[in-house]
Structure 1
Amino acid sequence: MNTNALADEELEQIKRYQDFTTIDWIQDSILERNRRLQDAKRNSAAGYGPRTASWFFAQARRAIHAGQSWFVVSLVGVCIGLNAAIISIVTEWLSDLKMGYCSDGWWLDQNFCCWEIEGGDTDVCDSWHPWSTVSTARGFVYTAFAGTFAFVAAHLVRSLAKYAAGSGISEIKCILAGFTMQGFLGFTTFFVKSITLPLVIASGLSVGKEGPSVHVACCIGYFVATMFKRFAQSEGKMREVVTAASAAGVAVAFGSPIGGVLFSIEEMSHAFSIRTMWRSFFCALMATVTLAAMNPFRTGKLVLFQVTYDRDWHFFEIIFFVILGIFGGLYGALVIKFNLQVATFRRKYLAKHGVAEAVFLALITALIGYPNRFLRIDMTESMAVLFRECDGDVDNICETATQWRIANSLILATVIRIILVILSYGAKVPAGIFVPSMAIGATFGRTVGIIVRAMYRTYPQSGIFAWCDPNVPCITPGTYAFLGAAAALSGIMRITVTVVVIMFELTGALTYILPTMIVLLVTKAVGDMLGVNGIADEMIRFNGFPFLEKEDHAFGVDVSAVMKHELHVLTETGMMVQDIERVLAATDVKGFPIVSTDGFRTLIGYIGRTELLFVLERFRKVREVNDETPCSFKSSGAGGHQHLGMDEDANANVFESASSSEGLQFWPWVNQTPMTVSPQLPLEIVMQLFKRMGPRVILVEDHGMLTGLVTVKDVLTFIATEKFDHDPSFEERGGLDGLLEELWRLTTGVTEQIRNWGRRFRGR
């Protein structure tokens, strides 16, 4: 038997984490440190001196090793850029397919079909053919395509990859914090979500592709990194790659590499080192360059709604900017509150009807949205229209004669899309909320811009408008749409700096940084007053994931009020194999504290459940073990190695030496220095230890005596059950969930009554 190979295999087996468990980042750091020490020791033993030829080989090996991380993030960025370009092209084609087809090639969308004609105007483009010249028939075809796309997408998600549903940002935040979800970043999830995402967007559902694009990017990062042993063995290095991939996902979604990096810092990751920041930026840059080279929109721009503003703003407009900020804060609070109620209803009644729900929502959205121009076209295309400056030669959105009709359509589109977003986000299809929120903010902002411009044209020389230069357009409604989109995005995600940078990179206009900051500060203030978190954090709470928020909390209690007092422990000596197996069979805990046998419960160490099971199995392969075989967790005093901290020489004979004639010695796998705290330590500090150092469990000892332990789930349970300092809300009095339940009961009752009438009729 090759003992070295066996030891390496066992270490990898011990290291692996089970599904829906948390990663112990301290343990992972120990593993990574030991690998570095073993590599250094191996190089030293090989005789890589400065006068040997092998020394040059060693230097080259170190250079390759150092550059491997940059190569991996570069490869990840290129793959993300290619995938984003393909998804954008397919999405545009499917969206235009609902309206017509190209006679020059069925695979061409409207822009490619009419690329020789400025604006792709179908009235003068002979190659583009609408499905019918009758408006009613076109609406029927539009609705049929929408329902078909939604059905195919929902069916593929339900049948092949359940994790492909939703946005994925909430789950990725938990994964980056150390929560294991097997398959969430797998190839099947990536493949299904890449296929279904264009279908969902083309179906017209009020959902976006930006959130799912982050999930797809993280799947690519995870898949590429697993092909390199160095990353596959280290959870810490894998986290760096996934973090960099999330930045690249936002970068290709908005054409904003710096905004993508800031999004990862502000929203995604708890621990963000300088090294991770640079790699995230490099990955985002590679993805953006690749997307620009692909040029999916044939405009030279990275996103469809990218614009450039040449006009300046006026200080009196701050009044209206504040209105947009208030709208963003109210919008975020409204959608988050009611969407959670819809999610509760969906979980209770529609869990088995995901496909039917998606098709129903797509059909309703198409039927309601088709008559309204701003609901009928794709949301990114709608924003491209709403963001425009009025130069006099664009379409009728800037014509004075039709401004009030357009304003009415915009208000109606705002209200309808808010309702549709509340109902659609969380359906069992790939669904994001970035672009729908921006589209809602854009329609509302454009409405405000039209009203302000009408006020200026009516009273050009009075009041605040007297400062305007009559030779230059004073009010630019497109900028109001732009700022409204920023406010809505900030309100729903509760991020500020990232949105400022993304909006700046979209426009390239330094002059509009200050208005954007003003709008977002007002949005944040309104959100803070209403006491709402971002929708990603709220969905984490709703799903019960073990995730601690970044903000500090002052609960005024010690860790002794939260910790578990009744523990399953192992004694240092005096246990037999049957005793250990009995404890393992009777419990499902992830690890066991080890205490002394003198009755004082002096803490000796800690051993994980996975390690204990694996070591027992290996002992049985090395020697004969029966139920009466004694087991010892006591250190031999020879400077023993902590669990997973053995060097290569110790690994070679570890099982043979630990299985002596006196019994089985478990001490090499015992963590003899687990993280411990005093029972009087404030809970806020313990939360900081979990967030910054990432242990799976913290033991509580009082003067060396074990008194309890605490995990992230214990902290979250305490927060959920103990902190109720608010008045009964609309939701607690029934809320939208109660209203939906009443509608559901009414619908099912009417349906059952119709069925009974049908049976009676057939019986006659």
Structure 2
Amino acid sequence: MEWQSWSEYLEVKHIFAESFLQISIYVSLAIALAGSSAILVKIYAPYAFHTGIPEIKAILRGYVLDAFLTPWTLLIKAIGLALSVSSGLSLGKEGPLIHVACCLTFLLTSFFKQFERSEGQKRKLLAASAAAGVSVAFGSPLGGVIFILEELDSFANDSDVMWRGFVASAIAAVTNNSDTWRAFELVPWLALGVIGGVLGSLLIKLNVQVALYRRNTFLNDWPVLEVVGASAITAAISYLVVFTRVQSSELVANLFQECKPLKVDYHGLCNPTANAENIFLLVITALLKIAFTAWTFGIMVPAGIFLPTITIGACLGRAVGILTQTTQTAYAGTWIFQSCPPEPTVRCVSPGFYAVIGASAMLAGVTRMTVSLVVIMFELTGALSHVLPIMISVMTAKWVGDALGKDGIYTVWIAMRGYPWLAPVDYHDQGESAAGIMKPVDELVLIEDGQCTVGELDDMIKTHQYQGFPIVEQRRLVGYITRDTLKCHIGRHLSSESRLGRCSFSNRNHNGDAIDFSDGLEKSILHLRKETPQELIVRIFQRTNFREILFTDRGYLVGLVTKKDIVALLTMHFPHTGSLS
């Protein structure tokens, strides 16, 4: 049986009734699919929304967020992702697949006891599973490996070395002659890089404003209603434009293809008499996708931003490619096009090639990825000749994007969500010391060694939500105990008989009547002088897994700085830090 449209199946003949039926079914299916995804996420697994990459980045840098990796989150993420992608919303599946891979790994580690007490080993496995997620999502195994080095684990300032090597390699390659591209093509390539950087920064700023508006209006209380409304508007508008009506993956695949005599012409893209119309439609599609993506990335459904961003860039790249090809054909005899073959039947400019370059530039402008992005795009296209122009466009897009805003989309969302993730930036102070960022001892909640009872400690951890507490003896530092360890020790002795028993954290204050808590003290706590330069403190946190550093003066506690304090220091340039926490 052959495929039938709804109008054919229902035998609707009138043109107006046929169009109304088609768009009604198109919008209704979009609403049903997106609404189902939102309901599943809202009711069963709130951590299954969004892309998941910001949270994975934070976890791999030491943040404990086990609820984000539960089997229930995995199930809802997988089902919700299929529904949301099918709805036609401006989102992708690639980022969420990284979250899915990490959830699977976390589930498997629960069956092995050696991973229960080793967060470091868990993070290593999660990094490997993130690479597997990229490999599955893009078919790019090498890109997955480089992605975890550049984007997820970063290795502090080593990413600067990778970026500098990337730039040097690109410049060296440009100086060599190549038969796969012409010198005049550097102009449109650089233009696409500038466009990618500008529009990438614009998309980030729009997305931030939408996220803030969502949090501060009624939409925060009605996430499912927002998803339904967004899917209805997206479907209704998308149906009117031929390039937005289809799935983004299908559109991108066709934009990447070159025009060949024996190949089906996709919606007239290869028709030389319709170049102006195609350029107009491609630009309109890109602008609509920017608006849809800015709103969609953050609603209560699993959603990635890779595919929508690639779609935007591919549309603009194809438009620039068609424009360049048209110009070259019209002025083939001018000096600038002398490098093209003299035969008019031989193609000189490849618009599909430009779509790949535009997609790379736009993705670089939004995510600020560099090396891993080039490898992923190279493995997607499978053409070695694509590497150099992709490198040029990515390099330009990153420079332009960094000039308009320091942070990529994932870093911005980490800052807005308030995750204690330290960006691998090279921080330099202006002569400030640790005293300028530490919490002074008078503002800390302290445990006085040998003076607190079990009941008083239990009341303290219920009143204060700090993740750890310094222990002192008349302001002299004894040690530090984490919240979880203290709760565990209290739970062992919390009874009506022992609630009044005093607790000892050191041998000096231990006597026969005291309850010994000394084995709960942190073994690897670091304490420095408050005159230590801020720059050194930042580097210590960036390169170690310390969550706090204590400051002492001749053995007396004078202050404390936590990882969150350093995060706040490094994100103070961003005005919306913690706005979604």
- Which range is displaced more, 255-264 or 132-141? 132-141
Whole-Å Cα distance in 2 between the matches of residues 249 and 547 of structure 1?
A: 21
Which residue matches 2:172? none
Q: Does the residue aligned with 1:550 lie in a helix, a strand or coil?
A: coil
- Which range is displaced more, 475-484 or 153-162? 153-162
2:502 aligned with 1:625: no
2:267 aligned with 1:392: no
Whole-Å Cα distance in 2 between the matches of residues 443 and 414 of structure 1?
A: 6
Which residue matches 1:524? 398
Preserved contact between residue 604 and residue 672 of structure 1 (Cα < 8 Å): no
Q: Does the residue aligned with 1:129 lie in a helix, a strand or coil?
A: coil
Deviations 1:334-385 (A, max 9, x none): 0001110000111111012211211111111111111322101111100111
Preserved contact between residue 425 and residue 431 of structure 1 (Cα < 8 Å): yes
Whole-Å Cα distance in 2 between the matches of residues 719 and 484 of structure 1?
A: 32
Preserved contact between residue 593 and residue 605 of structure 1 (Cα < 8 Å): yes
2:89 aligned with 1:205: yes
> Residues 355 and 576 from structure 1, CA distance in 2 versus in 1: closer, same or farther, beyond 3 angstroms?
closer
Whole-Å Cα distance in 1 between the matches of residues 349 and 337 of structure 2?
A: 10
Q: Does the residue aligned with 2:470 lie in a helix, a strand or coil?
A: strand
Q: 2:207 aligns with which of 328, 335, 339?
A: 339
Letter in 1 for 2:466: V
Preserved contact between residue 392 and residue 398 of structure 1 (Cα < 8 Å): no
Whole-Å Cα distance in 2 between the matches of residues 450 and 504 of structure 1?
A: 22
Preserved contact between residue 415 and residue 571 of structure 2 (Cα < 8 Å): no
> Residues 594 and 469 from structure 1, CA distance in 2 versus in 1: closer, same or farther, beyond 3 angstroms?
same
Whole-Å Cα distance in 1 between the matches of residues 295 and 363 of structure 2?
A: 18
Preserved contact between residue 166 and residue 428 of structure 1 (Cα < 8 Å): yes
Q: 1:492 aligns with which of 366, 370, 389?
A: 366
Deviations 1:7-45 (A, max 9, x none): xxxxxxxxxxxxxxxxxxxxxxxxxxxxxxxxxxxxxxx
- Which range is displaced more, 127-136 or 437-446? 127-136
C-alpha displacement of 1:218? 1.1
C-alpha displacement of 1:585? 5.3
C-alpha displacement of 1:719? 4.8
Whole-Å Cα distance in 2 between the matches of residues 483 and 465 of structure 1?
A: 20
Letter in 2 for 1:255: G
Q: 2:122 aligns with which of 212, 231, 238?
A: 238
Q: Does the residue aligned with 1:593 lie in a helix, a strand or coil?
A: strand
Preserved contact between residue 423 and residue 570 of structure 2 (Cα < 8 Å): no
Letter in 1 for 2:473: S
C-alpha displacement of 1:588? 3.2
Preserved contact between residue 487 and residue 520 of structure 1 (Cα < 8 Å): yes
Whole-Å Cα distance in 1 between the matches of residues 122 and 446 of structure 2?
A: 33
Q: 1:680 aligns with which of 531, 536, 539?
A: 531
Whole-Å Cα distance in 2 between the matches of residues 467 and 333 of structure 1?
A: 35
Percent identity between the aligned chains? 38
Whole-Å Cα distance in 1 between the matches of residues 381 and 318 of structure 2?
A: 17
Q: 2:104 aligns with which of 220, 230, 236?
A: 220
Which residue matches 2:332? 460
Which residue matches 1:436? 308
Preserved contact between residue 214 and residue 220 of structure 2 (Cα < 8 Å): yes
1:421-570 counterparts in 2 under 5 A? 421-471=293-343, 472-556=346-430, 557-565=432-440, 566=442, 567-570=444-447
Letter in 1 for 2:536: I
C-alpha displacement of 1:311? 8.4
Q: 1:401 aligns with which of 265, 273, 279?
A: 273
C-alpha displacement of 1:590? 2.5
Q: Does the residue aligned with 1:397 lie in a helix, a strand or coil?
A: coil
Which residue matches 1:591? 468
2:205 aligned with 1:330: no
Preserved contact between residue 458 and residue 490 of structure 2 (Cα < 8 Å): no
> Residues 513 and 200 from structure 1, CA distance in 2 versus in 1: closer, same or farther, beyond 3 angstroms?
same
Aligned residue pairs total: 540
Deviations 1:592-615 (A, max 9, x none): 222334xxx332221223323322
Letter in 2 for 1:550: P
> Residues 137 and 253 from structure 1, CA distance in 2 versus in 1: closer, same or farther, beyond 3 angstroms?
same
Which residue matches 2:161? none
C-alpha displacement of 1:180? 2.4
1:17-28 counterparts in 2 under 5 A? none
Preserved contact between residue 177 and residue 270 of structure 1 (Cα < 8 Å): no
Unaligned regions of 5+ residues in structure 2, if any?
9-17, 159-177
C-alpha displacement of 1:550? 1.1
- Which range is displaced more, 552-561 or 316-325? 552-561
Whole-Å Cα distance in 2 between the matches of residues 411 and 620 of structure 1?
A: 67
Q: Does the residue aligned with 1:706 lie in a helix, a strand or coil?
A: strand
Q: 2:153 aligns with which of 269, 283, 287?
A: 269
Whole-Å Cα distance in 2 between the matches of residues 696 and 136 of structure 1?
A: 59
> Residues 317 and 574 from structure 1, CA distance in 2 versus in 1: closer, same or farther, beyond 3 angstroms?
same
Preserved contact between residue 150 and residue 359 of structure 1 (Cα < 8 Å): yes
2:200 aligned with 1:321: no
Superposed CA RMSD in Å reads 2.6
Whole-Å Cα distance in 2 between the matches of residues 399 and 184 of structure 1?
A: 49
Q: 2:75 aligns with which of 167, 174, 191?
A: 191
Preserved contact between residue 270 and residue 691 of structure 1 (Cα < 8 Å): no
Larger Rg: 1
Unaligned regions of 5+ residues in structure 1, if any?
1-102, 104-126, 275-309, 638-657, 732-736, 738-764
> Residues 223 and 582 from structure 1, CA distance in 2 versus in 1: closer, same or farther, beyond 3 angstroms?
closer
> Residues 423 and 511 from structure 1, CA distance in 2 versus in 1: closer, same or farther, beyond 3 angstroms?
same
2:144 aligned with 1:260: yes
Deviations 1:41-89 (A, max 9, x none): xxxxxxxxxxxxxxxxxxxxxxxxxxxxxxxxxxxxxxxxxxxxxxxxx
Q: 1:361 aligns with which of 200, 208, 230?
A: 230
Deviations 1:368-420 (A, max 9, x none): 11132210111110011100112223303112122222111111111111111
TM-score, L = length of structure 1: 0.67
> Residues 365 and 586 from structure 1, CA distance in 2 versus in 1: closer, same or farther, beyond 3 angstroms?
closer
